[in-house]
Chains A and B, each alone.
Chain A
Amino acid sequence: MKKNNLKITIASGKGGTGKTTVSTNLSSYLASNNHAVVLTDLDVEEPNSALFIDAKLKETTICNKMVPKWERADCTLCGKCAKICNFNAIVALPSEVLVFPELCHSCYACSELCPTNSLPMNPVRIGEIKTFEATDFHFVEGRLDLGQEMAVPLISQTIDYVDENFKDTIKIYDAPPGTSCPVIEASRESDFVILITESTPFGLNDLRLAVETMRVLKQNFGVIINRYGIGNNDVEAYCQQEGIPIITKIKNDKALATLYSKGALIYPKIEHFKNSLDDIATFIGAIK
Protein backbone atom coordinates (compact mmCIF):
# COMPACT_ATOMS: atom_id res chain seq x y z
CA MET A 1 0.00 0.00 0.00
CA LYS A 2 1.57 3.27 -1.09
CA LYS A 3 -1.24 5.72 -0.70
CA ASN A 4 0.57 8.24 1.44
CA ASN A 5 -1.99 10.98 1.41
CA LEU A 6 -5.25 9.09 1.16
CA LYS A 7 -8.26 10.46 3.04
CA ILE A 8 -10.77 7.90 4.28
CA THR A 9 -13.96 8.79 6.14
CA ILE A 10 -15.57 6.13 8.30
CA ALA A 11 -19.30 6.79 8.59
CA SER A 12 -22.65 5.14 9.20
CA GLY A 13 -26.23 6.34 9.17
CA LYS A 14 -26.38 5.78 12.89
CA GLY A 15 -24.44 5.61 16.14
CA GLY A 16 -23.40 2.34 17.74
CA THR A 17 -22.43 0.48 14.58
CA GLY A 18 -18.72 0.26 15.34
CA LYS A 19 -17.26 3.38 13.67
CA THR A 20 -14.98 4.20 16.55
CA THR A 21 -13.89 0.57 17.01
CA VAL A 22 -12.90 0.28 13.36
CA SER A 23 -11.31 3.76 13.19
CA THR A 24 -9.08 3.32 16.24
CA ASN A 25 -8.07 -0.26 15.52
CA LEU A 26 -7.49 0.38 11.81
CA SER A 27 -5.25 3.36 12.59
CA SER A 28 -3.16 1.33 15.01
CA TYR A 29 -3.05 -1.64 12.62
CA LEU A 30 -1.89 0.46 9.66
CA ALA A 31 0.70 2.14 11.87
CA SER A 32 1.98 -1.23 13.02
CA ASN A 33 2.51 -2.02 9.33
CA ASN A 34 4.78 1.00 8.93
CA HIS A 35 2.33 3.49 7.51
CA ALA A 36 2.21 7.08 8.69
CA VAL A 37 -1.33 7.53 10.00
CA VAL A 38 -3.37 10.32 11.51
CA LEU A 39 -6.74 9.50 13.03
CA THR A 40 -9.18 12.40 13.38
CA ASP A 41 -12.30 12.33 15.52
CA LEU A 42 -14.82 14.52 13.69
CA ASP A 43 -17.74 13.66 15.94
CA VAL A 44 -17.13 17.07 17.49
CA GLU A 45 -20.35 17.06 19.51
CA GLU A 46 -19.40 13.84 21.30
CA PRO A 47 -15.82 12.88 20.55
CA ASN A 48 -15.24 9.42 22.00
CA SER A 49 -12.19 8.03 20.20
CA ALA A 50 -9.83 9.42 22.85
CA LEU A 51 -11.31 6.96 25.36
CA PHE A 52 -9.86 4.13 23.30
CA ILE A 53 -6.43 5.55 22.64
CA ASP A 54 -3.50 5.74 24.96
CA ALA A 55 -2.06 9.05 23.82
CA LYS A 56 -0.30 12.09 25.15
CA LEU A 57 -1.72 15.56 24.52
CA LYS A 58 0.71 17.59 22.44
CA GLU A 59 -1.09 20.73 21.42
CA THR A 60 -4.42 22.50 21.79
CA THR A 61 -5.63 24.99 19.21
CA ILE A 62 -8.57 27.25 19.95
CA CYS A 63 -11.18 27.42 17.19
CA ASN A 64 -13.19 30.52 16.52
CA LYS A 65 -15.96 31.58 14.27
CA MET A 66 -16.46 35.16 13.08
CA VAL A 67 -19.37 36.96 14.69
CA PRO A 68 -20.38 40.64 14.47
CA LYS A 69 -19.70 42.82 17.48
CA TRP A 70 -21.77 45.95 17.94
CA GLU A 71 -19.86 49.21 18.21
CA ARG A 72 -21.98 52.01 19.52
CA ALA A 73 -19.93 54.99 18.26
CA ASP A 74 -21.39 55.74 14.81
CA CYS A 75 -24.46 53.49 14.99
CA THR A 76 -27.65 55.35 14.10
CA LEU A 77 -29.82 52.50 15.38
CA CYS A 78 -31.43 52.23 11.95
CA GLY A 79 -32.20 48.55 12.58
CA LYS A 80 -31.11 47.40 9.13
CA CYS A 81 -28.82 44.72 10.63
CA ALA A 82 -31.68 43.02 12.47
CA LYS A 83 -33.83 43.07 9.32
CA ILE A 84 -30.98 41.61 7.26
CA CYS A 85 -30.13 38.75 9.60
CA ASN A 86 -32.07 35.69 8.52
CA PHE A 87 -31.04 33.67 11.58
CA ASN A 88 -32.52 35.91 14.28
CA ALA A 89 -29.04 36.47 15.68
CA ILE A 90 -29.44 40.24 15.91
CA VAL A 91 -32.05 42.18 17.85
CA ALA A 92 -32.21 45.96 17.45
CA LEU A 93 -33.61 47.71 20.50
CA PRO A 94 -34.43 51.43 20.68
CA SER A 95 -31.15 52.13 22.46
CA GLU A 96 -28.83 49.26 21.56
CA VAL A 97 -28.14 46.30 19.25
CA LEU A 98 -27.84 42.79 20.70
CA VAL A 99 -25.93 39.95 18.99
CA PHE A 100 -26.54 36.26 19.82
CA PRO A 101 -23.34 34.53 18.71
CA GLU A 102 -24.67 30.96 18.95
CA LEU A 103 -27.32 31.74 16.30
CA CYS A 104 -24.91 33.50 13.92
CA HIS A 105 -23.93 31.66 10.71
CA SER A 106 -21.07 34.07 9.93
CA CYS A 107 -22.56 35.20 6.62
CA TYR A 108 -21.12 38.74 7.10
CA ALA A 109 -24.26 40.36 5.61
CA CYS A 110 -25.08 42.55 8.62
CA SER A 111 -21.47 43.63 9.00
CA GLU A 112 -20.84 44.50 5.37
CA LEU A 113 -24.23 46.05 4.67
CA CYS A 114 -24.26 48.23 7.80
CA PRO A 115 -24.22 51.88 6.57
CA THR A 116 -22.02 53.01 9.47
CA ASN A 117 -19.69 50.00 9.82
CA SER A 118 -20.92 49.48 13.35
CA LEU A 119 -20.80 45.69 13.28
CA PRO A 120 -17.21 44.61 12.62
CA MET A 121 -16.64 40.84 12.61
CA ASN A 122 -14.75 39.43 15.57
CA PRO A 123 -13.56 35.95 16.48
CA VAL A 124 -15.60 34.07 19.09
CA ARG A 125 -14.49 30.73 20.52
CA ILE A 126 -16.56 27.66 19.51
CA GLY A 127 -14.28 24.80 20.51
CA GLU A 128 -10.81 23.39 20.20
CA ILE A 129 -8.63 21.06 18.20
CA LYS A 130 -6.43 18.77 20.26
CA THR A 131 -3.44 16.94 18.85
CA PHE A 132 -2.22 13.79 20.57
CA GLU A 133 0.75 11.54 20.08
CA ALA A 134 -0.12 7.85 20.42
CA THR A 135 2.63 5.25 20.44
CA ASP A 136 2.64 4.78 16.71
CA PHE A 137 0.18 7.19 15.11
CA HIS A 138 -1.10 10.74 15.42
CA PHE A 139 -4.51 11.52 16.78
CA VAL A 140 -6.47 14.74 16.37
CA GLU A 141 -9.77 15.55 18.01
CA GLY A 142 -12.21 18.38 17.34
CA ARG A 143 -14.28 19.23 20.39
CA LEU A 144 -17.19 21.65 20.30
CA ASP A 145 -17.73 23.68 23.46
CA LEU A 146 -20.86 22.74 25.41
CA GLY A 147 -23.79 24.90 24.39
CA GLN A 148 -22.41 25.59 20.89
CA GLU A 149 -24.80 24.49 18.19
CA MET A 150 -22.92 24.66 14.94
CA ALA A 151 -20.69 21.65 14.41
CA VAL A 152 -19.92 22.24 10.73
CA PRO A 153 -17.46 25.17 11.07
CA LEU A 154 -15.42 23.23 13.63
CA ILE A 155 -15.45 20.06 11.50
CA SER A 156 -14.19 21.99 8.48
CA GLN A 157 -11.49 23.74 10.55
CA THR A 158 -10.38 20.40 11.99
CA ILE A 159 -10.07 18.91 8.49
CA ASP A 160 -8.08 21.96 7.31
CA TYR A 161 -5.81 21.69 10.35
CA VAL A 162 -5.08 18.02 9.61
CA ASP A 163 -4.46 18.80 5.92
CA GLU A 164 -1.93 21.47 6.79
CA ASN A 165 -0.12 19.64 9.56
CA PHE A 166 0.07 16.08 8.28
CA LYS A 167 1.50 15.71 4.81
CA ASP A 168 2.22 12.29 3.40
CA THR A 169 0.10 10.66 6.04
CA ILE A 170 -2.93 8.42 5.64
CA LYS A 171 -5.89 10.28 7.09
CA ILE A 172 -8.68 8.38 8.81
CA TYR A 173 -11.72 10.45 9.73
CA ASP A 174 -14.13 9.09 12.34
CA ALA A 175 -17.36 10.79 11.21
CA PRO A 176 -20.31 11.98 13.28
CA PRO A 177 -23.47 9.83 13.03
CA GLY A 178 -26.50 10.68 10.93
CA THR A 179 -27.02 11.95 7.40
CA SER A 180 -27.21 15.71 7.92
CA CYS A 181 -24.74 18.57 7.53
CA PRO A 182 -22.02 17.35 9.94
CA VAL A 183 -21.52 14.00 8.19
CA ILE A 184 -21.64 15.67 4.79
CA GLU A 185 -18.88 18.03 5.87
CA ALA A 186 -16.85 15.08 7.15
CA SER A 187 -17.28 13.12 3.90
CA ARG A 188 -17.26 15.50 0.96
CA GLU A 189 -13.51 16.07 0.66
CA SER A 190 -12.51 12.45 1.27
CA ASP A 191 -11.14 10.09 -1.34
CA PHE A 192 -13.31 7.28 -0.07
CA VAL A 193 -16.06 6.70 2.47
CA ILE A 194 -16.44 3.44 4.40
CA LEU A 195 -19.99 2.89 5.65
CA ILE A 196 -20.37 0.55 8.60
CA THR A 197 -23.60 -1.34 9.14
CA GLU A 198 -24.94 -4.58 10.56
CA SER A 199 -27.10 -7.23 8.96
CA THR A 200 -30.39 -6.43 10.64
CA PRO A 201 -33.48 -4.55 9.40
CA PHE A 202 -32.22 -1.50 11.35
CA GLY A 203 -28.81 -1.80 9.76
CA LEU A 204 -30.31 -2.02 6.27
CA ASN A 205 -32.61 0.95 6.89
CA ASP A 206 -29.74 3.14 8.11
CA LEU A 207 -27.43 1.95 5.35
CA ARG A 208 -29.97 2.95 2.69
CA LEU A 209 -30.10 6.48 4.16
CA ALA A 210 -26.30 6.69 4.23
CA VAL A 211 -26.03 5.39 0.64
CA GLU A 212 -28.59 7.96 -0.50
CA THR A 213 -26.43 10.68 1.09
CA MET A 214 -23.19 9.43 -0.52
CA ARG A 215 -24.84 9.24 -3.94
CA VAL A 216 -26.00 12.85 -3.74
CA LEU A 217 -22.44 13.80 -2.78
CA LYS A 218 -21.15 11.67 -5.68
CA GLN A 219 -18.76 10.01 -3.23
CA ASN A 220 -17.03 6.68 -3.72
CA PHE A 221 -17.96 4.31 -0.94
CA GLY A 222 -17.91 0.72 0.27
CA VAL A 223 -19.49 -1.16 3.15
CA ILE A 224 -18.28 -3.05 6.21
CA ILE A 225 -20.82 -5.42 7.74
CA ASN A 226 -20.26 -5.52 11.48
CA ARG A 227 -21.63 -8.14 13.90
CA TYR A 228 -21.85 -10.50 10.96
CA GLY A 229 -23.77 -13.67 11.75
CA ILE A 230 -26.66 -12.05 13.55
CA GLY A 231 -29.73 -11.13 11.60
CA ASN A 232 -30.30 -12.01 7.95
CA ASN A 233 -28.80 -11.65 4.47
CA ASP A 234 -30.72 -8.59 3.40
CA VAL A 235 -27.78 -6.17 3.73
CA GLU A 236 -25.56 -8.38 1.56
CA ALA A 237 -28.31 -8.81 -1.00
CA TYR A 238 -28.87 -5.04 -1.06
CA CYS A 239 -25.16 -4.32 -1.58
CA GLN A 240 -24.92 -6.88 -4.40
CA GLN A 241 -28.01 -5.54 -6.09
CA GLU A 242 -26.71 -1.96 -5.87
CA GLY A 243 -23.17 -2.87 -6.88
CA ILE A 244 -21.69 -1.63 -3.59
CA PRO A 245 -18.43 -3.34 -2.61
CA ILE A 246 -18.47 -5.21 0.72
CA ILE A 247 -15.00 -4.54 2.09
CA THR A 248 -15.14 -7.02 4.94
CA LYS A 249 -17.48 -8.74 7.35
CA ILE A 250 -16.63 -8.53 11.04
CA LYS A 251 -17.91 -11.55 12.95
CA ASN A 252 -20.29 -11.07 15.86
CA ASP A 253 -18.30 -11.93 18.98
CA LYS A 254 -19.00 -11.28 22.64
CA ALA A 255 -15.27 -11.35 23.42
CA LEU A 256 -14.87 -8.39 21.04
CA ALA A 257 -17.67 -6.50 22.80
CA THR A 258 -16.01 -7.15 26.16
CA LEU A 259 -12.68 -5.75 24.95
CA TYR A 260 -14.53 -2.73 23.57
CA SER A 261 -16.27 -2.16 26.92
CA LYS A 262 -12.86 -1.68 28.54
CA GLY A 263 -11.59 0.62 25.84
CA ALA A 264 -8.92 -1.90 24.78
CA LEU A 265 -7.45 -2.44 21.30
CA ILE A 266 -9.06 -5.48 19.77
CA TYR A 267 -6.95 -6.75 16.88
CA PRO A 268 -3.94 -7.87 18.97
CA LYS A 269 -6.24 -10.29 20.80
CA ILE A 270 -8.83 -11.42 18.27
CA GLU A 271 -7.53 -13.06 15.11
CA HIS A 272 -10.67 -12.81 12.96
CA PHE A 273 -10.88 -9.08 13.68
CA LYS A 274 -7.26 -8.67 12.64
CA ASN A 275 -8.07 -10.49 9.40
CA SER A 276 -10.92 -8.06 8.80
CA LEU A 277 -8.55 -5.11 9.29
CA ASP A 278 -6.25 -6.75 6.78
CA ASP A 279 -9.16 -6.91 4.29
CA ILE A 280 -9.72 -3.19 4.84
CA ALA A 281 -6.02 -2.38 4.40
CA THR A 282 -5.90 -4.38 1.17
CA PHE A 283 -9.02 -2.61 -0.06
CA ILE A 284 -7.58 0.82 0.79
CA GLY A 285 -4.42 -0.11 -1.06
CA ALA A 286 -6.46 -0.79 -4.18
CA ILE A 287 -8.36 2.52 -4.14
CA LYS A 288 -7.54 4.53 -7.22
Chain B
Amino acid sequence: MKEIVVISGKGGTGKTSLSASFAYLAGAESLICDCDVDAANMHLLLDADFDKREDFMSGEIAKIDADLCSNCGACEAACRFDAIHRIEDQYEVDPISCEGCWYCSRVCPSHAITMETQKAGDLFVSHIKNNAQMVHAKLGFGAENSGKLVAKVKQTARNITKDSAIKYIITDGSPGIGCPVISSLSGADLVVLVTEATISGIHDLKRVHKLIKTFNLQAVCIINKYDLNLEMTQEIEAFLHDEDIKLIAKLPYDETFTKALSLAQPIVEYDKDCALSHLVKQAWETIKENILIKKGI
Protein backbone atom coordinates (compact mmCIF):
# COMPACT_ATOMS: atom_id res chain seq x y z
CA MET B 1 0.00 0.00 0.00
CA LYS B 2 1.26 3.46 -0.95
CA GLU B 3 0.30 6.83 0.45
CA ILE B 4 -0.17 9.85 -1.79
CA VAL B 5 -0.67 13.23 -0.12
CA VAL B 6 -1.95 16.25 -2.04
CA ILE B 7 -1.06 19.65 -0.55
CA SER B 8 -0.86 23.25 -1.70
CA GLY B 9 0.28 25.58 1.07
CA LYS B 10 -2.80 27.74 0.52
CA GLY B 11 -6.50 27.19 -0.02
CA GLY B 12 -8.38 27.55 -3.27
CA THR B 13 -5.81 26.06 -5.65
CA GLY B 14 -7.92 23.08 -6.68
CA LYS B 15 -6.43 20.55 -4.31
CA THR B 16 -9.74 18.97 -3.33
CA SER B 17 -11.08 18.79 -6.90
CA LEU B 18 -7.91 17.01 -7.98
CA SER B 19 -7.74 14.61 -5.03
CA ALA B 20 -11.39 13.70 -5.58
CA SER B 21 -10.68 13.09 -9.27
CA PHE B 22 -7.81 10.77 -8.42
CA ALA B 23 -10.02 8.90 -5.96
CA TYR B 24 -12.75 8.63 -8.59
CA LEU B 25 -10.29 7.26 -11.14
CA ALA B 26 -8.72 4.81 -8.71
CA GLY B 27 -12.08 3.48 -7.51
CA ALA B 28 -12.05 0.61 -5.04
CA GLU B 29 -8.29 0.15 -5.25
CA SER B 30 -7.92 3.35 -3.26
CA LEU B 31 -9.09 4.79 0.03
CA ILE B 32 -9.44 8.53 0.40
CA CYS B 33 -8.70 10.70 3.44
CA ASP B 34 -9.87 14.27 3.83
CA CYS B 35 -7.38 15.88 6.21
CA ASP B 36 -8.85 19.36 5.97
CA VAL B 37 -10.62 18.75 9.25
CA ASP B 38 -11.18 22.45 9.86
CA ALA B 39 -13.39 22.90 6.78
CA ALA B 40 -13.84 19.51 5.18
CA ASN B 41 -15.78 19.50 1.93
CA MET B 42 -14.53 16.64 -0.20
CA HIS B 43 -17.51 14.54 0.94
CA LEU B 44 -19.64 16.74 -1.32
CA LEU B 45 -17.81 15.64 -4.47
CA LEU B 46 -17.79 11.97 -3.61
CA ASP B 47 -21.28 11.42 -2.16
CA ALA B 48 -20.06 10.26 1.24
CA ASP B 49 -22.79 8.47 3.22
CA PHE B 50 -21.41 9.19 6.74
CA ASP B 51 -21.88 5.49 7.53
CA LYS B 52 -19.83 5.31 10.75
CA ARG B 53 -19.28 8.12 13.22
CA GLU B 54 -17.25 8.35 16.39
CA ASP B 55 -16.51 11.13 18.85
CA PHE B 56 -13.08 12.70 18.81
CA MET B 57 -12.21 13.70 22.38
CA SER B 58 -9.41 16.13 23.05
CA GLY B 59 -8.57 18.99 25.35
CA GLU B 60 -10.10 19.93 28.69
CA ILE B 61 -12.21 22.76 30.05
CA ALA B 62 -12.63 23.89 33.63
CA LYS B 63 -16.03 23.60 35.28
CA ILE B 64 -17.00 25.31 38.54
CA ASP B 65 -19.45 23.60 40.91
CA ALA B 66 -21.59 26.44 42.23
CA ASP B 67 -22.52 24.49 45.40
CA LEU B 68 -18.90 24.06 46.47
CA CYS B 69 -17.64 27.48 45.32
CA SER B 70 -16.98 29.96 48.12
CA ASN B 71 -16.62 32.88 45.70
CA CYS B 72 -13.06 33.61 46.87
CA GLY B 73 -11.88 34.57 43.39
CA ALA B 74 -8.60 32.62 43.49
CA CYS B 75 -9.47 31.02 40.15
CA GLU B 76 -10.02 34.34 38.42
CA ALA B 77 -6.73 35.65 39.80
CA ALA B 78 -4.82 32.61 38.61
CA CYS B 79 -6.29 32.45 35.09
CA ARG B 80 -4.00 34.02 32.47
CA PHE B 81 -6.52 33.53 29.66
CA ASP B 82 -9.21 35.84 30.96
CA ALA B 83 -11.54 32.84 30.95
CA ILE B 84 -13.05 33.20 34.47
CA HIS B 85 -15.38 36.02 35.45
CA ARG B 86 -17.81 36.70 38.23
CA ILE B 87 -21.25 36.93 36.71
CA GLU B 88 -24.13 37.69 39.09
CA ASP B 89 -22.33 36.52 42.25
CA GLN B 90 -21.10 33.32 40.70
CA TYR B 91 -17.76 32.60 39.03
CA GLU B 92 -18.13 31.16 35.55
CA VAL B 93 -15.78 29.74 32.93
CA ASP B 94 -15.89 31.02 29.37
CA PRO B 95 -15.35 27.77 27.43
CA ILE B 96 -14.03 29.59 24.36
CA SER B 97 -11.18 31.21 26.28
CA CYS B 98 -10.30 28.33 28.63
CA GLU B 99 -7.09 26.58 27.57
CA GLY B 100 -7.44 23.65 29.94
CA CYS B 101 -4.24 24.38 31.87
CA TRP B 102 -5.66 23.23 35.23
CA TYR B 103 -4.21 26.21 37.12
CA CYS B 104 -7.58 27.33 38.50
CA SER B 105 -8.50 23.84 39.67
CA ARG B 106 -5.15 23.53 41.46
CA VAL B 107 -5.52 26.77 43.40
CA CYS B 108 -9.21 26.47 44.28
CA PRO B 109 -9.31 26.05 48.09
CA SER B 110 -12.77 24.45 48.09
CA HIS B 111 -12.10 21.94 45.30
CA ALA B 112 -14.99 23.34 43.33
CA ILE B 113 -13.30 23.13 39.93
CA THR B 114 -13.10 19.97 37.89
CA MET B 115 -11.61 19.52 34.44
CA GLU B 116 -13.81 17.91 31.80
CA THR B 117 -12.56 16.33 28.60
CA GLN B 118 -14.21 17.92 25.63
CA LYS B 119 -15.63 16.45 22.52
CA ALA B 120 -13.49 18.21 19.92
CA GLY B 121 -15.02 16.80 16.77
CA ASP B 122 -16.39 13.85 14.82
CA LEU B 123 -14.61 11.20 12.81
CA PHE B 124 -16.43 9.51 9.91
CA VAL B 125 -15.88 6.48 7.73
CA SER B 126 -18.06 6.63 4.62
CA HIS B 127 -18.82 4.71 1.48
CA ILE B 128 -18.50 6.90 -1.60
CA LYS B 129 -19.44 6.67 -5.25
CA ASN B 130 -17.21 4.24 -7.15
CA ASN B 131 -17.38 1.72 -4.29
CA ALA B 132 -14.43 3.10 -2.39
CA GLN B 133 -14.27 4.22 1.24
CA MET B 134 -13.43 7.57 2.67
CA VAL B 135 -12.21 8.69 6.10
CA HIS B 136 -13.06 12.26 7.07
CA ALA B 137 -13.70 14.43 10.10
CA LYS B 138 -15.23 17.60 11.39
CA LEU B 139 -13.47 19.61 14.05
CA GLY B 140 -15.82 21.19 16.55
CA PHE B 141 -16.25 24.92 16.91
CA GLY B 142 -13.16 26.65 18.25
CA ALA B 143 -11.47 23.37 19.04
CA GLU B 144 -7.72 23.00 19.01
CA ASN B 145 -5.64 19.97 18.19
CA SER B 146 -6.53 19.67 14.54
CA GLY B 147 -3.09 18.06 14.14
CA LYS B 148 -4.21 15.25 16.45
CA LEU B 149 -7.49 14.81 14.58
CA VAL B 150 -5.60 14.62 11.28
CA ALA B 151 -3.34 11.95 12.78
CA LYS B 152 -6.48 10.05 13.85
CA VAL B 153 -7.93 10.28 10.33
CA LYS B 154 -4.73 8.90 8.84
CA GLN B 155 -4.43 6.12 11.41
CA THR B 156 -8.04 5.07 10.84
CA ALA B 157 -7.35 4.93 7.10
CA ARG B 158 -4.27 2.75 7.62
CA ASN B 159 -6.19 0.36 9.85
CA ILE B 160 -8.84 -0.10 7.17
CA THR B 161 -6.29 -0.80 4.45
CA LYS B 162 -4.48 -3.40 6.52
CA ASP B 163 -5.08 -6.89 5.11
CA SER B 164 -7.18 -5.46 2.30
CA ALA B 165 -6.66 -5.22 -1.46
CA ILE B 166 -6.48 -1.43 -1.29
CA LYS B 167 -3.37 -0.20 -3.11
CA TYR B 168 -3.42 3.54 -2.44
CA ILE B 169 -4.37 5.93 0.31
CA ILE B 170 -5.04 9.28 -1.35
CA THR B 171 -4.95 12.12 1.17
CA ASP B 172 -6.30 15.59 0.59
CA GLY B 173 -3.95 17.44 2.92
CA SER B 174 -4.72 20.29 5.29
CA PRO B 175 -4.02 23.80 4.07
CA GLY B 176 -1.11 25.86 5.38
CA ILE B 177 2.27 24.80 6.65
CA GLY B 178 1.48 24.31 10.34
CA CYS B 179 0.92 21.35 12.59
CA PRO B 180 -2.07 19.82 10.69
CA VAL B 181 -0.17 19.73 7.43
CA ILE B 182 2.80 18.06 9.09
CA SER B 183 0.36 15.44 10.41
CA SER B 184 -1.09 15.06 6.90
CA LEU B 185 2.35 14.40 5.44
CA SER B 186 3.33 11.64 7.86
CA GLY B 187 3.95 8.37 6.04
CA ALA B 188 3.67 9.88 2.55
CA ASP B 189 5.29 7.89 -0.25
CA LEU B 190 4.66 10.71 -2.71
CA VAL B 191 3.57 14.32 -2.24
CA VAL B 192 1.58 16.06 -4.98
CA LEU B 193 2.05 19.81 -4.78
CA VAL B 194 -0.78 21.80 -6.33
CA THR B 195 -0.05 25.41 -7.12
CA GLU B 196 -1.51 28.12 -9.31
CA ALA B 197 0.15 30.67 -11.55
CA THR B 198 -0.32 33.62 -9.23
CA ILE B 199 1.97 35.69 -7.07
CA SER B 200 0.67 34.06 -3.90
CA GLY B 201 0.65 30.61 -5.53
CA ILE B 202 4.41 30.55 -6.05
CA HIS B 203 5.05 32.19 -2.68
CA ASP B 204 3.11 29.48 -0.86
CA LEU B 205 4.61 26.72 -3.02
CA LYS B 206 8.08 27.75 -1.92
CA ARG B 207 7.07 27.80 1.73
CA VAL B 208 5.44 24.39 1.64
CA HIS B 209 8.36 22.99 -0.33
CA LYS B 210 10.67 23.86 2.55
CA LEU B 211 8.55 21.55 4.67
CA ILE B 212 8.78 18.72 2.11
CA LYS B 213 12.55 19.13 2.09
CA THR B 214 12.75 19.01 5.87
CA PHE B 215 10.99 15.67 5.85
CA ASN B 216 12.96 14.46 2.83
CA LEU B 217 9.83 13.51 0.89
CA GLN B 218 9.53 12.87 -2.84
CA ALA B 219 7.28 15.40 -4.60
CA VAL B 220 5.67 16.05 -7.97
CA CYS B 221 3.78 19.20 -8.96
CA ILE B 222 0.63 20.27 -10.80
CA ILE B 223 0.25 23.89 -11.93
CA ASN B 224 -3.38 24.96 -12.04
CA LYS B 225 -4.60 27.96 -14.09
CA TYR B 226 -1.20 28.05 -15.79
CA ASP B 227 -2.42 30.34 -18.59
CA LEU B 228 -3.58 33.02 -16.16
CA ASN B 229 -0.03 34.29 -16.03
CA LEU B 230 2.52 32.66 -18.32
CA GLU B 231 5.44 34.53 -16.82
CA MET B 232 4.53 33.21 -13.39
CA THR B 233 4.21 29.70 -14.84
CA GLN B 234 7.73 30.01 -16.23
CA GLU B 235 8.97 31.13 -12.85
CA ILE B 236 7.30 28.13 -11.19
CA GLU B 237 8.76 25.78 -13.80
CA ALA B 238 12.25 27.16 -13.20
CA PHE B 239 11.81 26.66 -9.46
CA LEU B 240 10.62 23.07 -9.97
CA HIS B 241 13.57 22.39 -12.25
CA ASP B 242 16.06 23.75 -9.70
CA GLU B 243 14.53 21.68 -6.93
CA ASP B 244 14.27 18.56 -9.05
CA ILE B 245 10.49 18.29 -8.73
CA LYS B 246 8.72 16.66 -11.65
CA LEU B 247 5.96 18.75 -13.24
CA ILE B 248 3.20 16.26 -14.01
CA ALA B 249 0.44 18.53 -15.36
CA LYS B 250 -0.31 22.08 -16.44
CA LEU B 251 -4.02 22.76 -16.26
CA PRO B 252 -5.54 25.77 -18.03
CA TYR B 253 -7.99 28.22 -16.46
CA ASP B 254 -11.21 26.46 -17.37
CA GLU B 255 -14.71 26.99 -16.06
CA THR B 256 -15.58 23.35 -16.70
CA PHE B 257 -13.90 22.76 -13.34
CA THR B 258 -16.41 25.01 -11.61
CA LYS B 259 -19.36 23.63 -13.55
CA ALA B 260 -18.41 20.14 -12.37
CA LEU B 261 -18.05 21.47 -8.84
CA SER B 262 -21.50 23.05 -8.96
CA LEU B 263 -22.98 19.66 -9.71
CA ALA B 264 -20.84 18.17 -6.93
CA GLN B 265 -18.89 15.99 -9.34
CA PRO B 266 -15.17 15.50 -9.86
CA ILE B 267 -14.13 16.77 -13.29
CA VAL B 268 -13.37 13.24 -14.54
CA GLU B 269 -16.96 12.22 -13.78
CA TYR B 270 -18.61 15.38 -15.11
CA ASP B 271 -17.06 15.13 -18.57
CA LYS B 272 -14.87 12.08 -19.14
CA ASP B 273 -13.65 13.26 -22.50
CA CYS B 274 -12.92 16.95 -22.07
CA ALA B 275 -9.34 18.19 -22.39
CA LEU B 276 -9.11 18.85 -18.65
CA SER B 277 -10.18 15.28 -17.79
CA HIS B 278 -7.51 13.87 -20.08
CA LEU B 279 -4.85 15.94 -18.35
CA VAL B 280 -6.04 14.84 -14.92
CA LYS B 281 -6.13 11.17 -15.99
CA GLN B 282 -2.61 11.51 -17.34
CA ALA B 283 -1.48 13.09 -14.07
CA TRP B 284 -2.94 10.18 -12.10
CA GLU B 285 -1.11 7.65 -14.31
CA THR B 286 2.15 9.57 -13.82
CA ILE B 287 1.62 9.60 -10.05
CA LYS B 288 1.25 5.81 -10.04
CA GLU B 289 4.37 5.41 -12.16
CA ASN B 290 6.37 7.69 -9.88
CA ILE B 291 5.44 5.69 -6.83
CA LEU B 292 6.47 2.49 -8.58
CA ILE B 293 9.85 3.98 -9.46
CA LYS B 294 10.48 4.72 -5.81
CA LYS B 295 9.46 1.19 -4.87
CA GLY B 296 12.20 -0.19 -7.12
CA ILE B 297 15.02 1.73 -5.44
Contacts and interface: CB of A to CB of B under 8 A. Distances in A.
Contacts of B142: 179-181, 184, 213, 216
A87 B101 contact: yes
Interface in A109-159: 109, 112-113, 146, 149, 151
A232 B146 contact: no
Which DSSP category, helix, strand, loop or mixed, fits chain B's interface?
loop
Contact of A13 (B39, B100, B146): B39
B143 interface: yes
Contacts of B176: 45-46, 177
Contacts of A84: 102, 106
Contacts of B126: none
A109 B261 contact: no
A245 interface: no
B271 interface: no
B266 to A, nearest CB: 12
Interface string A193-211: 0000000111001100100
A177 B200 CA distance: 15
B199 A52 contact: yes
A181 to B, nearest CB: 6
Interface stretch (A54-62, A166-174, A258-266): A258-266
Contacts of A216: 96, 141-142
A206 B13 CA distance: 15
B232 interface: yes
Interface residues of A, number: 52
A69 to B, nearest CB: 17
A285 interface: no
A238 to B, nearest CB: 14
Given A15-B175, A181-B144, A48 B41 contact: no
Nearest to B43: A205
Interface in B163-216: 175-179, 196-201, 203-204, 207, 210
B159 interface: no
A113 B39 contact: no
Contacts of A106: 80
A287 interface: no
B253 interface: yes
Contact of B229 (A51, A87, A258): A258
Contacts of B141: 179, 212-213, 216
Contact of A149 (B103, B139, B178, B253): B178
A39 to B, nearest CB: 16
Contact of A20 (B78, B99, B200): B200
Nearest to B208: A46
A14 B12 contact: yes
A178 interface: yes
A254 interface: yes
A20 B197 CA distance: 16
A201 B106 CA distance: 47
B228 interface: yes
A9 interface: no
Nearest to B230: A261
Contacts of A200: 258, 261-262
Nearest to A13: B39
A86 interface: yes
A16 B139 contact: no
B39 A262 contact: no
Interface in B203-262: 203-204, 207, 210, 225, 228-229, 232, 253, 255, 258-259, 261-262
A20 B102 CA distance: 38
A51 B229 CA distance: 16
Interface string B137-173: 0010111101000000000000000000000000000
A51 to B, nearest CB: 5
Interface of B: 9-13, 16, 38-39, 41, 44, 60, 78, 80-81, 96, 99-103, 106-107, 139, 141-144, 146, 175-179, 196-201, 203-204, 207, 210, 225, 228-229, 232, 253, 255, 258-259, 261-262, 264
16 contacts: A14-B12, A14-B41, A15-B10, A45-B177, A46-B9, A51-B199, A109-B102, A179-B39, A180-B38, A181-B142, A216-B96, A216-B141, A230-B258, A231-B262, A258-B228, A261-B228
Nearest first, the 7 closest Cβ-Cβ pairs linking A and B are A16-B12, A15-B11, A107-B101, A261-B229, A109-B103, A263-B199, A261-B198
Given A46-B10, A213-B142, 4 more contacts: A14-B11, A209-B39, A216-B142, A257-B253
